[in-house]
Chain A
Amino acid sequence: MALALTEEQKILQSTAREFISANAPVAHLRGLRDSRDATGFSRDLWKEMAKLGWVGLTFDEASGGSDLGYAELAVLFEECGRTLAPTPFLSSAVLGAECVRRGAAEPLRAQILSGVAQGETLLALALDERAHFAPYVIETKAEKSGEGYVLTGEKGFVLDGHVADRLVVVARTSGAAGDRDGVGLFLVDRLAKGVTVSRTGMVDSRNAARVRLDRAPAEAVLGEVGGGADVLDAALDRGTAVLCAEILGLATEAFEQTVEYLKTREQFGVKIGTFQALKHRASVMFAELELARSIVRETMNAIDEDGPDVPALVSVAKARCSDVGSLVSREMLQMHGGIGMTDEADIGFYLKRARVAELTFGDASYHRDRFATLQGY
């Protein structure tokens, strides 16, 4: 598969850019933040995206999807990243949906996925228990109760947790925190008895929540009891990959705005873009971004070909995108000078989102360690 965009992907890109910039510019996120919107996103916008076929883009047709690939999905995430559009795209259409697609039995599988594709059903993955990403460090317990399981534990940084209809909860039936074995995925109704969800206000004004489970009943097990790590890993790799595409979009936009500023802002009677100290830093960002673009595309191709190199490539992509998002958003603020410190400018929104995305699913150092481990050193 090619690394350059195909003609079809270019059309999708320009359609998406037009739609997102018209319907979800940064002002959209700012508005939700300023009005302290209870849902933290626009259901109308989400329904529109579903109607465009974006939400179910990668789902099979039986589940109401378009059967396209992650290469196409990444184009959409990149555009959403440019304007920091806050939607449940990652939580529902990728993380939750991949767990359901891989782990649920029919007819539940098709029922949930078609609900997601239509923009009706929202999903969230309840995974993290620590401040640092560690997917197998799970203490939440799943205990047998009658025919099914009840879950007890506490989860943090659950993306879109407070608006999700169903939670995919990662819980342990055996083993100790840190073991890959013994981890399972359980589908839980957010409104079920024993489930307490409280929204946590994040610096990027995006949705996250804490989830407390006190003998909360699971309505289904996704994958095997105690053997859910394969499904979880596959879902996390795909979620991480599209997050990389989002960061790429965010960083590209931040970079373009910064270069534009260097061409217009004057100090000492000249455009500040004439200064070599700034030119070289801009050139560094350009190159680092170009490299990020290539690895993001290659990762999507690997996912679409279901290659054995997906985990390694995802780690290369996330390490690089974490670093590039951080670099470009910090330089954006510094190069804009004082205006970058004001809330009135959008620059802070880019910096804040870049920082959250950097840590989500593991930062650069986490992924370098994971890559080295995968390579056996």
Chain B
Amino acid sequence: MRSTDLDNRHYYCHYLQWPTAVGHFSKEVRSMESLESFRQEVRSWLEENCPASQRLPRDGETPLPWGSPQAVEDAKLWLERCANKGFTCPSWPAEYGGGGLSNEQEKVLRQEVAAVGTQLPGMSFGTHMLGPVLLELGNEEQKRRFIPDIIHNRLTWAQGYSEPGAGSDLAGLQTRAERVGDEYVINGSKIWTTGANNADWMFCLVRTDPDAPKHDGISFILFDLKSPGVTISPIELISGASEFCQVFFEDVRAKAENLIGEKNKGWAIAKRLLQYERTMISGMGGGGGPRGGAKRKRVAKRYRSMADMALPYVGEKDGKLADFALRDQLTQTEMDTICLTLTTKRVGEEVKAQKGPGHTASMFKWYATELNKRRQEILTTALGTQALGWEGEGFQAHELAHTRGWLRSKGNSIEGGTSEVQMNVIAKRVLGLPD
């Protein structure tokens, strides 16, 4: 399972902020005298442009029902308005339609966005995986061709990485691409492709030199999934969901100009994209946080969301969760969540100057996914047999959702590189242990 699971991501993704590229100021922004005037500008822009249904209701407002026709229209409008400002990709260069904001400006933008109770729309595989890689490693034509579409969310991308015979050993991939004229002809199959049945295009790893050592014969190419010869079949998972597909290629033709970087040098691009993916999965980054300027006042936060879920099932004894072993495990999970959140914040501060994610992305990916699995296991224990319903009568909606969520969480530590692969990366790249 290669790609991220958007359903499960809210468990560890609530402080997502993308590490930003530095330096590209739009003319508009350059003319601003200070961050404070930028903040004022953002604030009034949000006031005028963020539809009421796309933010938290204010006092006296009645929220539109979620999914109502008006709300769906508003969501489109909000995406379009943000995309026109480049705010879907705030740090990307303005020349391709990005926001052109500095790190500090992006932080201000996210603070103001959080302050009105909304989010920047349009987060996708394009904005968080392909886009950053294209900006770093694509050529000028490719950037002009694809970056604006990513910013405006005009194309949905699928990630063609894993194959039936190439999971953790991704570089063992066998999908062939042969040059014929100004095209590549692709044959083979990809698996665990998230949302391929709803995607428009694929960024795909293909073998362009079968005789070279396995890391040296790979290329990174983009093509239209509506092309003749593409067959897509959804895969049913243990949780009952079918978000992943197997994709088959039979003489699929891709334009040679859409090969990114050099032919046979695609492995480096593939790895770079994986770093972005791990960062997205683990939700690394600083997060919107409070409105800037004012000093945050410390409050005694409540860390008892798991206990609140467990209490109706486990009961209380002397004011304490009645199952002491469960209480201990649950507390450890709450504590580890606090520590992980603080660590993303700290590492975010420490690498602020660095461009893009580093190898600690593997640590966050590993820890966040294992922690989520642990949380799901403990809650399953806490809910007892009410956590084991599959469908129908006798279970509340949240209990049935828990069953599915618990099963789905098992894939967290497989997709995007298994926990074992992440630990190999930490050992090699962070600790410098020998091969």
Contacts and interface: CB of A to CB of B under 8 A. Distances in A.
- Of the candidates B311, B320, B433, the one having the most CB atoms from chain A within 10 angstroms of its own CB is B433
A22 interface: no
A4 interface: yes
Interface string A1-43: 0111000000000000000000000000000000000000000
Contacts of A333: none
Contacts of A371: 303, 331, 334-335
Contacts, number: 138
B302 A375 contact: yes
B342 to A, nearest CB: 4
Interface of B: 298-304, 307-308, 311, 316, 319-321, 327-328, 330-332, 334-336, 338-340, 342-343, 345-347, 349-350, 360, 363, 366-367, 420, 422-424, 426-428, 430-435
12 contacts: A3-B349, A263-B432, A274-B433, A274-B435, A279-B431, A283-B424, A294-B343, A294-B346, A295-B338, A368-B331, A368-B335, A369-B328
Contact of B320 (A4, A259, A287, A372): A372
A309 B300 contact: yes
A284 interface: yes
Interface string A355-377: 00000000001001101110111
Interface residues of A, number: 45
A377 B432 CA distance: 43
Nearest to A374: B300
B349 to A, nearest CB: 4
A262 B428 CA distance: 12
B317 to A, nearest CB: 11
B298 A307 contact: yes
B349 A2 contact: yes
A295 B343 CA distance: 8
Interface stretch (A71-79, A91-99, A312-320, A344-352): A312-320
Contacts of B300: 307-309, 312
A291 B343 contact: yes
A297 B346 contact: yes
A57 to B, nearest CB: 22
A124 interface: no
Interface of A: 2-4, 259, 262-263, 270-271, 273-274, 276, 278-280, 282-284, 286-287, 290-295, 297-298, 302, 305, 307-309, 312, 316, 319-320, 365, 368-369, 371-373, 375-377
Nearest to B351: A4
A276 B424 contact: yes
A225 to B, nearest CB: 29
A262 B366 CA distance: 22
B423 A377 contact: no
B300 to A, nearest CB: 4
Nearest to A372: B331
Given A294-B346, A295-B342, 11 more contacts: A262-B433, A279-B433, A280-B424, A280-B427, A283-B366, A291-B339, A294-B345, A308-B300, A320-B339, A369-B331, A372-B307
